[in-house]
Chains A and B, each alone.
Chain A
């Protein structure tokens, strides 16, 4: 196999890893106002505990999940600099939006629990919700645009504008990805919690799953009719089947299988995208001859060889320790496991200011 093909596949794998892993924590963020909302809770205190259950299911792992996209971007830079350059400069404003969303979302996870005030927590809840919604949707939108092709000139520069990215198929892509992540997140929560939250997560998964199935089938059919190859019909079909199996498993309470099902559905969808794309990496709608391909966007043979060695040696190590984290934190959580928000031990008065303890 050509090294360029190998790296194309590897970048596909990195995006798959990103969406399968961060997909469920996007889903958890999106479900915060639903499963952690007032309607399903006894009272405000119960709602708060439930939100903390949701957040703690992903607490130890979301950060590691996010590194998959950083690695995907870094690997694209290293293996296909022209792809990286065209994509990141071309999708300037949407990526700015993604950055802002990820920034406030990450800080939400880290800072929310650091103060007891309800208003402080409510603000970070909003940051987590929007910070999950925006990247979920925008990544779907952008990847779909890449498969459909965007205007690129002979110098590999993107010549479209933001509005040209908002085409109906791409918007469908954004919606389908979001719905898939919500389903994936709900099933993850059913797998990782117990008690009422678990039962309600399964109900949510069933509802969201139907929407996700409808949107994903429509998306893959529309994309397949224009860019499909025989094998992408197979992977598309397998994705749909995996999702249906997941929903069936969810119905009968087999949450582990359901989770494997939604993970497979997301993975197969991303695989379908990459197979449709190959051997282009960013097809040009201006002139097919100006498309970026695995050949003209790639780094040199030498760079790819070095990178291949690094990837072959270290990727298994990363998978091992990341897998181990999931094992360490495998316990199901319930509201019982959430410690009370203890008022912090403040010796000499909290309000006196950093320089003002008791004066003599």
Chain B
């Protein structure tokens, strides 16, 4: 293992970890803003209690999303300085714009939202959370345009004199065709996660409240009134999950076709398809494969006829190119100039097949499973029903975990599937690392981040579970800022 491998592992670990918090931030900010707006419009106490409760979960999650994002921004320069020099002219711009347009918006308005109780008028207060949500969308847009450039470089020219890629069209970067399908796919999967978090948490609390009421044989006592509130939240979460899930599938389908067009090797790798399938025959989609995934052939066990052709081309008997043909094609197009890792005929241009194959399936499978959970929940809670079986707990835990893992799998697939390139067709990952950074330094940062992130995961999960356990706090009429007594204690304080 050398510095390059470690830098890659570090990027993988820190990015996957960061992206556990990102979709929750995007999805939950919209839902909390929705709850808050519902409170302002109806003044039904339940909406305010849900706003505050899920808002608390949101801030716990946001804190870790923010700090792990900081690591991402520094990491390009720390571990990938050659990459940063090579594409900085292009890649730096969306990053800087993201900070200026999105991060300021998110941080400032989240501060206003958290501390705004009793200090800013209620409509404005609810609006601050919507602004936070817009900030998360802008942030996603710019960072995904940067990533889309790595998947499908556009709007640039290679300057032989300076030896770097230079921006020629910023609009092309923002409207990259990969970006236009990736953004909806990522945002919809974030809504899916947000819905699933609300669904899972509310289910668990609904069941607990119901059991407690039946224990004390008094339907009206204490939290009895909370059962309908949590059921409603769970159903709302389920609807968001289901609708977003359909959008994720639809956008993912379009994305697959664009991907086949710009990076045919990624689709072939996703399928472990070694031999090309000519037009008219129809390539099958394999559900399960055994045998040598990374060898020269694969032995599929379960196949869906013609599905791969459809996924890749939109036609059930479209031609799909296999890895072996593509290897030769890539070698011809991109050559091996100066990049030793490309010269190896067996691995050059070919990403890690088992990883891409399984991650592709996990991504799809987990996303579909999350939507299935939402369907079950909607069915089980139909017309005021309150299911309380133990199976509900499993669903409650599975609801957020499934799509979060699905997201991770999707990113691992799309990034590993691009290998050996860091910028497709332009620069290999190995040539992007910092030449001046020693193995010892990368080992140090890797160790520090792994230990720190591990410890933070424990603290975060415990805090989240504790907050969930406490449930929504009892209703308290918020103070009107206009009538706020100067000396009264703050409605919210650290």
- Bin chain A's interface residue count: 35 or more
Check B383 for interface membership: any CB of A closer than 8 A. no
Choose among A74, A114, A115 the residue with the greatest number of B CB atoms under 10 Å from its CB: A74
With known contacts A59-B115, A354-B468, A66–B107 Cβ distance under 8 A: yes
**Cβ contact within 8 Å between B115 and A329:** yes
**Cβ contact within 8 Å between A106 and B63:** yes
With known contacts A55-B494, A303-B167, A336-B489, A90–B89 Cβ distance under 8 A: no
**Cβ contact within 8 Å between A77 and B77:** yes
**Cβ contact within 8 Å between A63 and B110:** yes
Check B473 for interface membership: any CB of A closer than 8 A. yes
Complex: chain A residue closest to B62, CB-CB: A110
**Cβ contact within 8 Å between B84 and A157:** no
Interface of chain B residues 185 through 244 with chain A (CB within 8 A): 204, 207-209, 211-212, 214-215, 222-223
Residues in chain A near residue B465, CB distance under 8 A? 354
B74 contact from A99, A346, A347, A353, Cβ within 8 A = A99
With known contacts A64-B107, A354-B468, A88–B445 Cβ distance under 8 A: no
Interface of chain B residues 404 through 454 with chain A (CB within 8 A): 434-437, 441, 444-445, 448, 452
B108 contact from A64, A115, A310, Cβ within 8 A = A64
Check A233 for interface membership: any CB of B closer than 8 A. no
Check A231 for interface membership: any CB of B closer than 8 A. no
**Cβ contact within 8 Å between A103 and B437:** no
B494 contact from A52, A76, A344, A345, Cβ within 8 A = A52
**Cβ contact within 8 Å between B469 and A350:** yes
Check A215 for interface membership: any CB of B closer than 8 A. no
With known contacts A81-B89, A88-B77, A358-B215, A102–B67 Cβ distance under 8 A: yes
Check B73 for interface membership: any CB of A closer than 8 A. yes
Interface of A is mostly: helix
Cα A70 to Cα B452 in complex, Å, equals 21
**In whole Å, how far is A27's beta carbon from the nearest beta carbon of chain B?**
17
A325 contact from B112, B204, B474, Cβ within 8 A = B112
**In whole Å, how far is B239's beta carbon from the nearest beta carbon of chain A?**
24
**Cβ contact within 8 Å between B92 and A81:** yes
Check B328 for interface membership: any CB of A closer than 8 A. no
Residues in chain A near residue B92, CB distance under 8 A? 74, 76-79, 81, 84, 299, 303
Choose among A73, A89, A302, A358 the residue with the greatest number of B CB atoms under 10 Å from its CB: A89
B469 contact from A306, A322, A346, Cβ within 8 A = A346
Residues in chain B near residue A359, CB distance under 8 A? 211
Stretch in contact with the other chain, from A164-172, A203-211, A245-253, A311-319:
A311-319
**In whole Å, how far is B343's beta carbon from the nearest beta carbon of chain A?**
24
Complex: chain B residue closest to A105, CB-CB: B67
Interface of chain A residues 188 through 233 with chain B (CB within 8 A): none
**Cβ contact within 8 Å between A306 and B111:** no
Check B490 for interface membership: any CB of A closer than 8 A. yes
With known contacts A82-B88, A102-B70, A113-B494, A328–B112 Cβ distance under 8 A: yes
25 pairs, A vs B, C-beta closer than 8 Å:
A59-B115, A63-B66, A74-B97, A75-B100, A77-B76, A77-B84, A85-B88, A88-B78, A90-B436, A96-B448, A100-B448, A102-B67, A300-B167, A307-B93, A310-B100, A310-B101, A315-B100, A328-B116, A338-B489, A339-B490, A345-B471, A347-B209, A347-B223, A360-B214, A360-B215
Q: Which residues of A contact B (CB under 8 A)?
A: 52, 55-56, 59-64, 66-67, 70-71, 73-79, 81-82, 84-90, 92-93, 95-96, 99-100, 102-103, 106-107, 109-115, 155-159, 299-300, 302-303, 306-307, 310-311, 314-315, 318, 321-322, 325, 328-329, 331, 333, 336-340, 344-348, 350, 353-355, 357-360
Q: Which residues of B contact A (CB under 8 A)?
A: 56, 59-60, 62-64, 66-68, 70-71, 73-74, 76-79, 81-82, 84-85, 87-93, 95-101, 103-105, 107-112, 114-116, 119-120, 164, 166-168, 170, 204, 207-209, 211-212, 214-215, 222-223, 393, 434-437, 441, 444-445, 448, 452, 456, 459, 463, 465-471, 473-474, 486-491, 493-494
Extra contacts besides A107-B63, A328-B112 (7): CB < 8 Å: A56-B494, A76-B92, A89-B436, A96-B445, A310-B101, A318-B104, A337-B489
